[in-house]
Structure 1
Amino acid sequence: MAQAFVSTCVVLPDGIHSAAVLEDEGIIRAVCAPSEIPAGYAVHDFGTLALLPGLIDSHVHINEPGRTEWEGFRTATRAAAAGGITTLVDMPLNCLPETTNVAALEAKRSAAYSKCLVDWAAWGGVAGDNAADVAPLAAAGVRGYKCFLIYPGCEGFQMVSLQQLEAALPHVATTGLPLLVHAELEEPIAAATAMLNETSNDWRRYATYLASRPDEAELSAIRILLALCRRYRFRLHIVHLATAQAVPMLRQARAEGLPVTVETCPHYLHFAAEEIPDASTLHKCAPPIRSRANREQLWEAVREGVIDLVATDHSPCPPAMKKFEEGRFDLAWGGIASLAVALPVVWTGLSARGFGLTEIARLMSAGPAHLAGLEARKGAIAAGRDCDLVVFDPDAEFHVSANDLHSRHALSPYVSEMLRGRVMATYLRGEKICDLTQGHASFASDLQGRAI
């Protein structure tokens, strides 16, 4: 039956309106005034609760096939649904095999089949000498490519040298797809780490870890990437920007007309180095969470539009890999799990700084949809798009508990944080896939998520 989703706060591309979203067969057919709902529609009236477009997380490590003890499609898509995320775009690592050729892409699609509560797509990998795989991966349906200019942190996925990257870039440019880059260089990190080890620094201290990955590691990488972008005119996307010192050169690149986009992550906008306890390896990620002043400068880059989107870089692992007993940042896995709480984390920061809900739609739906080439189907409440919706209470406040995470391992630095805004329900193509109105998550038994 056709449905009408009604609210006094529907977040549309042109602003917030009292409206009805008309759905039939999973597609938004029209958006109209509540008084104009045609006869025969089943009406769901959410009152003053906000209706947001389904969120898209364009930076997720699902880790299947090969490392389902870390996460997996079943648990990752469940956590996503609880967080209002209706589409995930999966990174080409830390799964095994890595998604660096068509056979590995098909293996991932087979592994995901019938396990997904939300839709998903795949990034391919530019790794080592696989330039010849770039075009076939595009033809097979990847949404773009990911590469590392530094060791990725686990065996399997290879970083690229500058020579290997330049061999791949003409192929990437020809596809028209974006290249997502982990922008840190090894040399500044190696030099800083050597100096810290020579002076017997304590690796249980967060300050030691932060000093081991200086801003210059990001800055030098971004300078090189912008120079390559000028030469090859490929679509460059900087993932998980952590240093605000890069904002001026990114602003200038945009002014030049370079095809550059930028993301940051919820943890860089929420936490600050001064507040991270020593031995709290749950906070370890790469690049690292930097200072309070740096965080506020990232928020200014969000306000200015230099930062195009926010993505989680959801990168979970088994508890033992966080080295809780040792508490050493140099030994612990670097990754933060946040799929189920990313929306309230970002809204907590946005609302405290005077932003409105339209910024959530820009940063966490429209921006990622554009990056991944999903605008025809996702990213906005508009006629012709999939009817992916989030019912959101922007005024609710809650302390995060482990039960709120819904990932395979209930590990996150967000546990015990006080956040603002709560997902009340998530709809995928008009079907309710998660209901949180009773204070706990109830998930649909029918797994309708698709590879897109």
Structure 2
Amino acid sequence: MDLKLGSTLSVVRSTRVVIGDQVSPAVIIIKDGKIHQILSSSSYSETDECQVLDVGNSVVMPGIVDSHVHVNEPGRTTWEGFWTATKAAAAGGVTTIVDMPLNSIPPTTTLSNFHEKLREATGKCFVDTAFWGGVIPGNEYELRPMIQAGVAGFKCFLIHSGVDEFPHVVDCDLHAAMKQLQGTGSVLLFHAEREVTHVSFTVLDPTHYSTFLQSRPDVMEVEAIRAVIELCLQYQVRCHIVHLSSAEPLKLILEARLAGAPLTVETTHHYLSLSAEDIPAGATQFKCCPPIRGSNNKEQLWNALKAGHIDMVVSDHSPCTPDLKKLNSGDFSEAWGGISSLQFGLPLFWSSACQRGFQLSDVVRLLSHNTAQLCDLANRKGQLTPGYDADLVIWDPEREFQIEEELIHHKNKLTPYLGLTLRGCVCATVLRGRVVYSGGHFYPQPLGKHLLLPQRMNQLTTGVI
């Protein structure tokens, strides 16, 4: 496979192209960074003008859209930044990320802060980047201006976020925000854990994972999601549950949808790949919130994915500097809660999914198409269709590799997946028809664009929704 970095592709051929629910031989014709045509191999005639990139039996599918990424720039660039995060994304076949409104300083909670975020991201993105805004107490009148400026939607916390500059909301804040979001078509994302006063636990050794796990029981997610459902039904504003870790609220979510709630839900690679029983004492690189739960719970999440009750799978890439993980003490109660996995989402998912009967079309649905829908990018990202951006990941689903530190492109290399052998190796990543990553190397010039949503501005100003 001869892929020159930065080259503009015009024709890509493979025996395994994922189009909708089908995987078949096909030829993708690209013009001006868009998919122009998709033809069967037999109906395509080569011309001298078009050089065909034949990738043989490698899978060609839409680039992954990871709608849950903490880039942390500006303000905490020692944790991560746009340059390193989007490089890692490209190495993992991710062609679009959506940046979370925290843990940057300032957080993306005002129009002014959003403009600062855009300035900091300019010229640093190796893949396309969209942006979430944030809902915090008292900022409800910033929401519509941020919608008009192009944010993909908003995120809030129902529990302490982990950083003081992004405080969690209470009921009165949520009602105020919902009133502003009604009629906009925007979406509100919830970190759905809530303090539950009647739950008590015994304080045991903080280096044991079981101690941390019992401090964040399933009922915290259940009660938070119950509150989200009430709001969703009352206001009919799109709501989304981020990083579902517990299978217990799934029945509530299904009932809410049947009752007419415009509610979606995601889970993450770590909840599908890891089990509480396997986490060693002091291994704080495994800490995240909500916590990784038991193996039986994990299988229930997989079953819900297969049944369509969970809509998508994301990384929730939430890095920090190694010292914040408290590796020396191994104290889970003090360590930062977040897992780095942006680069390895595709092989993490496929390594487990292929053993459970999932198909390549399911990978596209759960990692590309549905995530693009969530952030209103489904008219240009997340599927191979004429008129869409020519964002492609070319990968080998049979090839295995081991995660080693020298392979990791995140700024900080600490991850619970170090040493793990995965199936599914990314060969190349194509962004709007140009090769941005191939065989471990990057095109040196960042080609990513900011993905703003100006169509919402037109809807708000004209009154047409």
TM-score range, shorter chain: over 0.9
**Which residue in the other structure is 1:387 paired with?**
390
Residue 130 (structure 2) aligns with? 121
1:220-231 matches, within 5 Å, as 220-231=223-234
Deviations 1:25-62 (A, max 9, x none): 11100100123146222211111110010000000000
Moved more, 6-15 or 71-80: 6-15
Separation of aligned partners in 1, 2:206 and 2:240: 32
Q: Which residue of 12, 26, 33 maps to 1:5?
A: 12
Displacement of 1:15 in angstroms is 1.4
Q: Does 1:74 align with 2:83?
A: yes
Work out the CA distance in 2 between the residues paired with 1:110 and 1:32: 41
CA contact (8 A) 2:9 2:434 kept: no
RMSD across aligned positions (CA): 1.1
Task: Give 2:5's aligned residue.
Answer: none
State the secondary structure of the residue aligned to 1:229.
helix
Q: 1:15 pairs with 4, 17, 22, which one?
A: 22
- Letter of the aligned partner of 1:116 in structure 2? C
In structure 2, the residue matched to 1:445 is 444
TM-score by length of 1: 0.96
Whether the aligned pair in 2 keeps the contact of 1:319 and 1:411 (CA below 8 Å) is yes
Contact map agreement 1:178 1:236 (CA 8 A) in 2: yes
Q: Which one is further off, 78-87 or 394-403?
A: 394-403
Whether 1:357 and 2:360 are equivalent positions in the alignment is: yes
Residue correspondence of structure 1 range 303-342 to structure 2 within 5 A: 303-342=306-345
Shift of residue 176 of structure 1?
A: 1.1
**Structure-2 separation of matches of 1:17 and 1:133:** 47
Taking structure 2 as the reference length, the TM-score comes to 0.93
Whole-Å separation in 2 of the counterparts to 1:79 and 1:409: 11
> Partner residue of 1:196?
202
Q: Does structure 1 conserve the Cα–Cα contact (< 8 Å) formed by 2:233 and 2:260? A: no
AA partner of residue 29 (structure 1): H
Conserved? CA contact 2:61–2:384, under 8 Å: yes
Match of 1:405 in 2: 408
Distance in 2 of aligned mates of 1:191 and 1:71: 36
* 1:65 is the counterpart of 2:64: no
Encode CA deviations 1:395-452: one digit per residue, 9 max, x unaligned. Answer: 011221112220001110011112111111101011111112xxxx100012110101
Higher relative contact order (CA 8 A, sep 6+): 2
| Counterpart pick for 1:294 among 297, 316, 326 | 297
- Bigger drift between 77-86 and 245-254 goes to 245-254
Extract unaligned runs of 5+ from structure 1: none
Contact 1:2 1:41 in 2 (8 A): no
Q: Write the distance in 2 (CA, Å) between the matches of 1:37 and 1:126.
A: 53
The one-letter code sitting in structure 2 at the alignment partner of 1:22 is: I
2:108 aligned with 1:109, yes or no? no
Hey, what's the Cα distance between the residues in 1 that align with 2:196 and 2:9?
58
The 1-side partners of 2:295 and 2:434 are apart by: 41
Instruction: Describe the superposition over 1:258-311 as per-residue Cα deviations: whole angstroms up to 9, x where unpaired.
Output: 101000000000000011111110000000000000000000000000111001
1:60–1:312 Cα contact (<8 Å) kept: yes
The one-letter code of the counterpart of 2:71 is: I
Give how far 1:90 is off.
Answer: 0.3
1:375 Cα shift? 1.0
1:67 deviates by 0.6
The 3-state SS of whatever aligns with 2:107 is: coil
Unaligned runs of 5+ in 2: 1-7, 452-465
Deviation at 1:196, TM superposition (A): 2.5
The 8 Å contact of residues 144 and 177 in structure 1, kept in 2 or not, is answered as yes
2:442 partner letter? F
1:160 to 163, 169, 186: 169
State the secondary structure of the residue aligned to 1:187.
Answer: coil
Query: Within 2, Cα distance between the matches of 1:186 and 1:122?
Result: 28
Mapped to 1, the partners of 2:370 and 2:143 lie a distance apart of 24
Residue 218 of structure 1, aligned match among 203, 217, 221: 221
Secondary structure of the corresponding residue to residue 343 of structure 2: coil
Q: Per-residue displacement from partner, 1:358-397 (whole Å, max 9, x unpaired)?
A: 1110011001100000011101011001100001100011
Distance 1:242 1:2, change over 3 A: closer
Partner of 1:234: 237
Contact 2:265 2:311 in 1 (8 A): yes
- Percent identical pairs in the alignment equals 44
In 2, the alpha carbon distance for the partners of 1:293 and 1:41 equals 52
Change (3 A) 1:2 1:354: closer
In 2, the alpha carbon distance for the partners of 1:236 and 1:133 equals 19
Query: Aligned residue for 1:32?
Result: 39
